[in-house]
């Protein structure tokens, strides 16, 4: 790391168990983020501040009035493409991070899913599982929501997902859920093997983690992938 980067990330380099090697892993990472709505906004901000090298945003929708309740979008952004509106806010936060639209054929080294529908969440998580890369899937609901954290080889999202939770968390819950998702992904990227497969439920501001378990016969119990994708 050069002096400019050390100065930029000095505070997190002092965190016990973190260091220059962990920061360099973050700097080499290519993170695909599926969904860039209000629920994703805090996570996107934190990923940029943490020093993720490339942040690839995937969202075909425009900014909706409900998105203004998040951290990214001003009222004037309503009706503009979410990806472009998010880039306009995120890119100036760090000159060490490239914030881009997810490129066709791009090969991410990690994935964060804020999908608008269950089929999209399942498809995005399955693509990450088959690629052998760490990923986190966010499931908001009216009480707060949950995260399914999937390091390579762990039980997959389909094994641990909720089949009943629907709705949107209260305003404070949106930021907390989003921040937790970013934290889990950063930990998996910075220190591979440090985070087990788990489901983190956030109910009225209280987070509870429990290990995930594989459903009988699930494809994630077989040869998972061709191997993890290198971030470097």
The domain locations on the chain are: 23-215
The whole-angstrom separation of Cα 137 and Cα 154 is 13
Cβ burial, residue 76 (10 Å; 0-12/13-18/19+): exposed
Residue 55: pLDDT band (50, 70, 90) is very high
Mean pLDDT value across residues 9-38:
90
Structure letter (DSSP) for residue 228: P
Q: What is the pLDDT of residues 167-189, one digit of tens each?
A: 555 556 788 889 999 999 999 99
Q: Which two tokens stand for residue 133?
A: 């890369």
Is residue 145 over pLDDT 90?
no
| Tokens 């380099």 -> residue | 13
Q: What is the pLDDT of residues 75-111, one digit of tens each?
A: 999 999 999 999 999 999 999 999 999 998 999 999 9
Residue 133: pLDDT band (50, 70, 90) is very high
Q: How far is CA 121 from CA 29, 35, 46, 230, in A?
A: 21, 10, 21, 23
The residues that bridge with 100 in the sheet, in sequence order, are 56
Residue 232: pLDDT band (50, 70, 90) is very low
Is residue 54 over pLDDT 80?
yes
Cβ burial, residue 56 (10 Å; 0-12/13-18/19+): buried
Mean pLDDT value across residues 120-140:
95
According to the CATH classification, is domain 23-215 in 3.40.50.720?
yes
Quick one: which of 180, 177, 148 has its CA closest to 162? 148
Is residue 227 over pLDDT 70?
no
pTM of the model: 0.90
The whole-angstrom separation of Cα 85 and Cα 178 is 18
């Amino acid at each position: 790391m050069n002096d400019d980067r050390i100065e930029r990330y000095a505070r997190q380099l002092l965190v016990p168990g973190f260091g220059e090697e962990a920061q360099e892993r973050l700097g080499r990472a290519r993170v695909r983020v599926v969904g860039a709505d209000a629920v994703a906004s805090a996570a996107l901000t934190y990923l940029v501040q943490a020093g993720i090298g490339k942040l690839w945003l995937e969202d075909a929708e425009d900014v909706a009035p409900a998105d203004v309740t998040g951290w990214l979008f001003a009222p004037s952004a309503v009706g503009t493409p979410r990806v472009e509106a998010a880039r306009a806010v995120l890119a100036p936060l760090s000159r060490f991070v490239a914030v881009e639209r997810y490129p066709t054929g791009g090969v991410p080294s990690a994935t964060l899913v804020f999908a608008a529908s269950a089929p999209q969440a399942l498809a995005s998580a399955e693509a990450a599982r088959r690629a052998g890369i760490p990923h986190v899937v966010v499931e908001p609901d009216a009480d707060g929501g949950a995260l399914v954290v999937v390091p390579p080889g762990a039980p997959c999202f389909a094994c641990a997902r909720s089949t009943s939770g629907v709705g949107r968390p209260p305003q404070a819950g949106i930021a907390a859920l989003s921040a937790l998702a970013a934290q889990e992904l950063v930990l998996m990227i910075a220190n591979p093997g440090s985070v087990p497969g788990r489901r983190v439920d956030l109910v009225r501001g209280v987070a509870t983690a429990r290990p995930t378990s594989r459903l009988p016969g699930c494809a994630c119990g077989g040869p998972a992938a061709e191997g993890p994708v290198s971030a470097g």
